[in-house]
Structure 1
Amino acid sequence: MPETSPPRIEDVRDAATRLAGHAVQTPLLRSDAIDAATKARIFFKAECLQVTGSFKFRGAYNRLSALSEKEREAGIVAFSSGNHAQGVARAALLLGMPAAIVMPRDAPPLKVERTRADGAEIIFYDRITGPREEIAAALAAERGAILVPSFDDPHIVAGQGTAGLESAAQLAAFGLAADAIIACCGGGGLASGLALALPEAALWLAEPAGYDDAGESLRTGTIVPVTHAGPTLCDALQTFRIAPLTYDIMSRAGARGVAVSDADVAQAMRTAFTELKVVVEPGGAAALAALLSGKIDVEGQVVLATLSGGNVDPALFAKVLTS
């Protein structure tokens, strides 16, 4: 697809073909206790079990595998707090191309270590004051490399949408279809891809409090940035502005957003561990947090919710479990 064209369902299907044999077809998980608490049938897409521990590998591999041989030789530059970094680093390793990742200095050490272990060069910046997009763009221009954003790219969105295609097929095996989707949302790449793959389902976005710009943008009808950035457990969702690409897709889907607190997220992480038997990072637990805190009424519905990542530092996870 042309890089300036919005992705279509056909592009999501093409992405699924590229990803076959490389990405994991992650399971749908469910819990009687969570169903009872929400009075709904909730199915969790466990992307915490994906290659590199998050859905980001889907979009990264789809984007990089679409590059020409000449572009692959030049290498790529990306910017990420960790999950996109890991997805890009692994995809670059598999495809034999150099990768440089611009990462915040306060990125979780586990994510930094995993990114470096796959051979990527890491350039650190300050998350609050450093313009990561500008840093990465300048580096890409200097090296003649391809810039690979984490969500503002049609190939990235199409790759993330493959999680939706899988989910639809898995639900169909039970004779079901999703009435609603609840997606953890930073820049909206995953939510946009799910909207393309499951257009009949209502779309909800779960964002960390203080970083709920996607929901506010959709509510007001124009893209608004984060204005009062502060600390949050959800490092993976600390995006300061969604892109026109993802905004347009989510807007056409009629998406709505809710904000979840750190306390909501911590409870969701504990519930995912005790009820679903999986390790989920804070940002990856935002959709479950929105459900458990009652911020979205899904009574009587079949719901697809994302567990979008599992890359949490052991010390933080232990603290959350015992608090």
Structure 2
Amino acid sequence: MSYFRKHYHEPGTAPGTLVQRSPATTSPLSMHLTDYTEEGVEELDLDAVQDCVRYLERGSKTWLQINGAVSPDTLRQLGDLFDLHDLALEDVLNAGQRPKIDSYENQLFVTAAFPMLNDGVLELVQISLFVGENYLICFCPLAQDPFDPIRKRIRQTNGRRFTSRGIDYLLYALLDYIVDSGFPVLESFGDDLEVLESELLAHPDRQTLAAIHRLKRELLLMRRILWPQREMIASAMRSEDHRIKPETLVYLRDCMDHSVQIIELLESFRDMATSMLDLYLSAISNRTNDTMRVLTIIATIFIPLTFIVGVYGMNFGNPDNPWAMPELYARYGYPLVWGAMIVITGGLVWYFRRRRWL
């Protein structure tokens, strides 16, 4: 996982320049349009940007969902058709933007981070949203549309909450879905923390340490993105832009509550991961201490035995010498020495067990 993923222009490039880069995804471009009023919903897949012109001339709400890798030419066509600002289009192409909300003359521009797990690895997908008077354009680099549950709510007969409200309610629904997507990711991280905790209490190894570092890194990356995302939602609530109606603020407040809950869970998991790293170091230190204690006990037991065999290994056994070792020629000298060593060994083991060193 790279620490720095943001695409950027070379220093000195004119602002608003759209430059084609090797995209992080090679997903083919697809455009899906959802046009709805209180009377009904119409959906179709577009082959060209110009196909949505006739829907903009109505009084309906139009949601244009663009998935996959978008080219600079397509962005320019959309910019000319919807009068999108050049700086905002540049931010769409340069992925890895900080979540934010910018107000331009003809539209609101919102960037958000969509958290997801790809084969167990955290991925933060940039979602770019343009909000006009009666349209919303959503750019998503994924091949598959992640917002199909929102579209299903619009199709439902009881989905009049969507059809009877302005386009700002659709903006809230998409932001709420993006924010709530953090809960399953954090749930997966919580499961990983439980597994790591069990491994730490059983048999921690280098793989456990690598898993802890990976989890800490992903939590740090998620925190770096979701903190400004909470600020972005707070900015939307404080915004005086006429495109965000007062009746939508109460829903944005609920979205803000979810964002705060995710941040609190994220901080708790980061603290747990840090404490697990300390627990791993303590477990390794305790294991080393146990090993050293066993080795010390073994060495202590063999010290007197080494002394005895060292003394009798000197072989001063001249029978005419009064200072010679009498045990060398005693009938039971050899078994007596063995018995003494066994008694000493047993006494030391009994003493160590009594002191609970064994």
TM-score by length of 1: 0.22
Structure with bigger gyration radius: 2
- Considering fraction of residues, name the structure with more helix: 2
